[in-house]
Amino acid sequence: MRKACLNSIFELAQMDERVVFIGSDLGPGTLDEFRHEIPDRFFMEGISEQNVIGMAAGMAMEGYIPFVNTIATFLSRRCYEQVAMDLCLHNLPVRLVGNGGGLVYAPLGPTHLAIEDIAIMRALPNMSVVSPCDAEEMRRFIPSTLEHPGPIYIRLAKGGDEIITSPVNNFQIGRAVVMREPRKVVIISTGIMTQRALKAAEILKAEDVECGVIHMHTVKPLDFDALAYAAQKAKIIVTVEEHLMTGGLGSAVTDYLASAHWERFPMIKKMGIPDVFPGEYGSQDSLLQSFDLTSESIAAAVRSSMVEN
Amino acid sequence: METEVELMTRAAQLSALDKRSMQLRGLVVRALVGGGRGHIGSSMSLIEILRVFYDDILRVRAGDPTWADRDRFILSKGHGCLAQYALLADKGFFSIEELDHFCRQSSFLGGHPEFGKVPGVEASTGALGHGLSIGLGMALAARMKKAAWQVYVVLGDGEINEGSVWEAAMSAGKHNLDNLTAVIDYNKIQSYGFTENVQPLEPLADKWRSFGFSATAINGHDVNALRQLLSSLPIQKGRPTAIICHTVKGKGVSFAENNPSWHHKSNLPPDQVAEIYDALERKT
């Protein structure tokens, strides 16, 4: 997914002279082709995220569209005031491309786990937050950023994730993708949790439980229409995210549902990471398993919700 | 024997102020009275620096503040905005009467300057340590566009405690940006007290030099010297410039000069306002 993202940025830069790439201290050879072909608009600025964000803001004020890329934790926590003031307050078209959203860097420990990035980015006025689920979706998404007026936080997954979206799902920022039509149960997921949500729906189908799946690639602005539609049809909504349960997709969904005035309210079950810094290493998959974020646990959550309901 | 810093500081203290400098200070006090508050000390040290920029250096148009070929000027120490508001009003970017509404709910003149609200303000500042990075981005944009405009960023001495300033400095040095100038208002006092005690900055010019800048020090209240220096930039081709302006906090208001308790004032009683005006009168 990261490769697809960076290549798409390069293609965009070839097409549009406003596109600039700024990295901090990325791996050797990153976007070499970009650097050779368009050296004037390729910057590698060292481990200085606060400066990089301000610099991107200055360029955006002059009409450029900078894509800033580094590890998600350092792009969200380290330079939060610069993101809030330089990008969001000025409402500038800077794109933050965060490597390793969620538990991707599991072996590296909590310093490298971006598990509150959606929450803190979502809290900022003018910021959009997008978490695609596969490389194909990423390829459709990047060109659509070109004319988006404000800042966007783009959460990258590990890569090699199963392709589940198709060109039929024309990408639009803020428009959810209905992967399976809403039924009595609807699973709402973002990022690579959508692959797991779909598998959970298949497990449940084998048990004659029909389950809708909505892929909420854009956590902000949230697709209220899709949510309202799901909430009207469903008795049970399960939100699933590779993120703390505080402030992420589940919170965004419940914030919206709590503000609506419906006679009937679906039961809501939030699935995500509890309020802890993960204390183990291993792999993304093994940590997801220890936080009960597998297809089987999603299916189990749906089953137990149905018993309660 | 006095050090260079002591000599420059004394020169700044002894600098006489002419009528225009006092008239601009009068505008600062007018806004201070309008809002009932303001960073008076931090603004008074800036007056001659900003005066020379707006009178003699900046290619800007009051009637067309977003003119594409203008020079970019960022007041990174946004709390000194009363000085910038005084200059912008004086130059006709907005009416002088607007100063009377400073910090009022519906005014566009807030306690820190905001882009998109105040004509002539390039970036919203107030959170310290942001302006030089933004200026760096603008200077790189000028290079990409092959544009001739210059970028000037005015920083406070307390402000440069922020690590982000030095990240920006390192990057500006790397890019050899001779279209970028950092001006430091070295009034030697930050909120808590003297910079020498809170966070010593010396050797300050050497710090900037070691980050790839050409650096020089000047009396920040000497209008002629400022004019001469600022009109002959960059100091060295292929390098960004740092100008360390030795100034006096509260300059022009004798009892506020060099007094940390005059960094910011609110709820000024009328008799104290009268004393400020009296002090300004006595200087002319």
Detail the DSSP E strand segments found in A79-122: 95-99
Pairwise CA distance, residues B113 & A89, whole Å: 12
Which pLDDT does position A306 carry in this prediction?
87
B134, A48: Cβ pair inside 8 Å? no
The encoded tokens of residue A192 equal 């690579």
Pairwise CA distance, residues A66 & A87, whole Å: 11
CATH label, A177-308, candidates 3.40.50.920, 1.10.3720.10, 3.40.50.1100, 3.40.50.300:
3.40.50.920
B138, A54: Cβ pair inside 8 Å? no
pLDDT tens digits for range A124-183:
999 999 999 999 999 999 999 999 999 999 999 988 999 999 998 889 999 999 999 999
Query: How far is the alpha carbon of A87 from chain B, nearest alpha carbon, in Å?
Result: 10
The CB density around residue B119, as the number of other CB atoms within 10 Å, is 15
Closest by CA to A55, choosing from A37, A73, A39, A68, is A68
The encoded tokens of residue A223 equal 């697709």
CA B106, B109, B111, B116 torsion: positive or negative? positive
Chain B: residue whose CA lies nearest to A55: B137
| Bridge partner list, A130 | A154, A218
Chain A: residue whose CA lies nearest to B140: A59
Helices (H), B176-255: 195-198, 204-210, 223-230
The CB density around residue A243, as the number of other CB atoms within 10 Å, is 29
All domains of chain B, ordered by start, with CATH?
4-283 (3.40.50.970)
Identity of the residue numbered A45: E
The encoded tokens of residue B246 equal 């030795």
CA A205, A208, A210, A216 torsion: positive or negative? negative
Domain boundaries, chain A: 2-155, 177-308
Name the class of domain A2-155.
alpha beta
Length of chain A in terms of residues written: 309
The encoded tokens of residue A305 equal 């919700």
Pairwise CA distance, residues A250 & B157, whole Å: 45
Mean pLDDT of chain B: 95
pLDDT tens digits for range B13-51:
999 999 999 999 999 999 999 998 889 999 999 999 999
- B284 — pLDDT class (breaks 50, 70, 90): low
Domain A2-155 matches domain A177-308 at the CATH topology level: yes
Chain A: residue whose CA lies nearest to B130: A54
Pairwise CA distance, residues A68 & A152, whole Å: 10
Q: Please name the helix (run of DSSP H) or strand (run of DSSP E) that holds residue B153, with its range, or none.
A: strand B151-156
B→A interface, C-beta within 8 Å: 115-116, 122-124, 127, 129-130, 132-142, 144-145, 163-164, 167-168, 170-171
Q: Find chain B residues with C-beta within 8 A of A87's C-beta.
A: none
pLDDT tens digits for range A102-118:
999 999 999 999 999 99
Identity of the residue numbered A284: Q
